Structure 1
């Protein structure tokens, strides 16, 4: 079985965010850091070289592949902000309808800039996503 490429590291979240070249993307990264820390009650941790994650969960697929992943997180990609773990919760579809300008794909939520979305709705998406992954998936 191959090892997961994206694992928790000891790298500094602050150093990662400070190194983001685009000023709006860098500022949005700091805003997401505060928002997700507050919504989850967890400290941020780097997962791989580019994902800022909060909390963790263990997954196991029927294929036998298993590993750990952040419960929710984000990355400040060049094209957009990638937000992880926010589209699976029971209320996520209804919340996404009120979020503002975004797109989804491959389990991710993509936002060009935080000013394009309702931050209160985004905060609720983080809470719902985090709760779903850390509570419901551990019941199985």
Structure 2
């Protein structure tokens, strides 16, 4: 799709383009203007809500796309350092992306699991303490944590 055709599609057929783009596992934008690349990223962010968008670029024309994404990955390549300076993550070669995604994806998963375990254990401890407090004071309708957890 040429840049002019993409511009018309984004202007008049945004929902159809969003449906097509969201159905893909990966979207490659080439021979587009920097604004169109950023529009595609914003389209993905708007229509595919729970997902996170990562944009990979290696030149100055990819800066707006990288900055529009949740995670911008810049490749320090022959085209200059503009993309790597504007990105959240900077790598030297394209094949380092798999390691970057696997390592950071694993760390994100582990942090999410630790947070969910903390929330569950905190709720369990608070409930047990309230139950013991109620038993000690003959099941009076008095809260142990007044004003904190309503």
Q: Same fold (TM over 0.5)?
A: no
Bigger proportion of residues as helix: 2
The normalised TM-score by structure 2 is 0.31
Relative contact order: is structure 1 or structure 2 higher (C-alpha 8 Å, sep ≥ 6)?
1
The normalised TM-score by structure 1 is 0.33
Bigger proportion of residues as strand: 1
Which structure would you say has the larger Rg? 2
